[in-house]
Amino acid sequence: AQSVSQHNHHVILSEAASLELGCNYSYGGTVNLFWYVQYPGQHLQLLLKYFSGDPLVKGIKGFEAEFIKSKFSFNLRKPSVQWSDTAEYFCAVNGLGGTSYGKLTFGQGTILTVHP
Distance CA 83, CA 107 (A): 23
Q: Does 36 bind another protein (CB under 8 A)?
A: yes
* Closest separation in Å from C-beta 113 to another protein: 19
Q: Is 105 in the site for another protein (CB under 8 A)?
A: yes
Residue choice 90, 110, 112, 114 for contact with another protein (CB under 8 A): 90
Alpha-carbon span 89 to 106, nearest angstrom: 10
- Candidate list 52, 53, 54, 70; residue touching another protein; CB under 8 A: 52
> How many angstroms from the chain centroid is the CA of residue 26?
15
Alpha-carbon span 88 to 91, nearest angstrom: 10
Rounded Cα gap, residues 54 and 104, in angstroms: 22
Which one of the spans 19-27, 37-45, 69-77, 78-86 is the region binding another protein (CB under 8 A)?
37-45
**3-state DSSP call for residue 69?**
helix
69 near another protein (CB under 8 A): no
What does the DSSP 8-state code read for residue 96? S
By CB under 8 A, is residue 71 in contact with another protein?
no
Q: Which range touches another protein (CB under 8 A), out of 12-20, 59-67, 71-79, 95-103?
A: 95-103
